[in-house]
Amino acid sequence: MGKIAFVFSGQGAQYPGMGKELYECSPAAKAVFDMADSVREGTSAQCFEAEKEVLNRTVNTQPCVFTADLAAAAAVVEKGIKPDYVAGFSLGEIAALGFSGMLSYEDAFKLVCRRGELMDISSNERKGTMVAVVKLTPEKVEEIASRFEDTYPVNYNSPAQTVVATSEENADALCEAVKAEKGRGVKLAVSGAFHSPFMNSAAVGLGEYLENVELSEPNVPVYSNVTAKPYGSDENSKDYKALIKAQVINPVQWQKTVENLIAEGVDTFIEVGVGKTLTGLIKKINGDVKAFNVEDKETLEALDI
């Protein structure tokens, strides 16, 4: 058997009731939710009971998805499965950092709470949105984006899916330009233009917050969204705090991350957390690898590798 990678879900996959079944069936998952509640009272109730509109606010989304991600990973480990590598999509990377031991669970949770607050503030200071573009190559998406001001490809998800951050005023025209090139643009239900210069003030605030945070060496390699390589693997990735800060204003190199993991011998990916967005993207990047998702009792019990 080849190597195993855990991949932690990102923002956008949240839904009411997420994590509740794992809380009820896995002591390890319950311990993660209890930890979150001890730092941010009501996090579990928000995951289990809040309406979609509440969960979709960045300041709530990030701590809630983080908790569901880490709880799912804990449940899989409790089942006896451990990863050789970990990676997370956007805020999922913070859960991966906590899982790896670079931060304690509590410190990683406090970090993601602050990250969500700062990105929420940035979103309100400078309004923006995101458009998922499918059926076009990343290069073509870059060319289309270059025609518009304040428009940036920010999530390189698969060979035929790239997400673009842009201003609210440009979103419809961008979708029309994509359609003219025989692609399809879909406006996402997000509260900001993440992983772009729209988040500059959030990056500054995150850098200031990280000055007082202690980071340890990871006990399992963590792949960075910015470099698509493990933290500490080369000169460009030795400053861990700089990478965490840079992540909020730089593109998520997801396709390259998955390809690099496969090159390292990973043939089994387990998406831990919320939904199965990453599972679908991985299968589009390479149809030969195995990809599973764990988000509830059924998917946890069905996991057999």
Q: Which residues are catalytic?
A: 90, 195
Q: How far apart (Å, rounded) are the C-alpha atoms in residues 232 and 1?
A: 27
Coil, helix or strand for 167?
Answer: coil
Coil, helix or strand for 217?
Answer: coil
Beta-strand relationship, 290-294 and 266-272: parallel
Distance of CA 82 to the CA centre of its chain: 20
What letter does residue 81 receive in the DSSP assignment?
-
Show Cβ contacts of residue 4 under 8 Å, excluding neighbours closer than 6 positions. Answer: 81, 82, 83, 84, 85, 266, 268, 269, 270, 305
Q: How far apart (Å, rounded) are the C-alpha atoms in residues 84 and 220?
A: 6
Distance of CA 188 to the CA centre of its chain: 15
Strand intervals (E) in 57-134: 85-88, 129-134
Q: In Å, how far are 91, 188, 249, 260 from 168, measured between CA atoms?
A: 23, 11, 18, 34
